[in-house]
C-alpha cells in the first residue's frame, strides 16, 4: 500500500493486522468517518 500524499512512502503491516482492519471495515467500524447522507443531488429531491 502506498501513501497517496507521498507515493515514495510504502506502508507495511502484518497479515493479522490487515485482516483485523478488513474485518472492522466489513463490520462498519469506520462508517462514522464518512458522511453517508451527503449526495450530489440538489436539496429537495
**Residue 21: its pLDDT value, please?**
94
Q: Specify which residues 3 forms β-bridges with.
A: 6
Q: Tell me which residue range forms the domain holding 6.
A: 2-33
**Residue 44: its pLDDT value, please?**
57
Q: Do residues 33 and 24 touch, judged by C-beta distance below 8 A? A: no
pLDDT by residue (tens digit) across 1-45?
Answer: 777 788 888 889 999 999 999 999 999 998 888 776 666 666 555
Question: Is residue 16 included in any domain, yes or no?
Answer: yes
**Residue 36: its pLDDT value, please?**
63
**Domain tally, the chain:** 1
Q: What is the DSSP letter of 41?
A: S
Is pTM beyond 0.75? Reply is no
Question: Is residue 41 included in any domain, yes or no?
Answer: no
**Residue 8: its pLDDT value, please?**
86
Q: What is the DSSP letter of 10?
A: E
Question: Is residue 45 included in any domain, yes or no?
Answer: no
Rounded-to-integer distance, Cα 2 and Cα 11, Å: 6
Question: Is residue 39 included in any domain, yes or no?
Answer: no
Q: Do residues 33 and 25 touch, judged by C-beta distance below 8 A? A: no
Question: Is residue 27 included in any domain, yes or no?
Answer: yes
Amino acid at each position: 500500500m502506498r501513501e497517496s500524499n507521498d507515493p515514495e512512502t510504502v506502508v507495511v503491516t502484518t497479515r493479522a493486522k490487515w485482516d483485523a482492519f478488513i474485518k472492522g471495515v466489513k463490520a462498519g467500524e469506520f462508517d462514522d468517518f464518512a458522511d453517508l447522507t451527503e449526495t450530489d443531488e440538489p436539496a429537495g429531491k
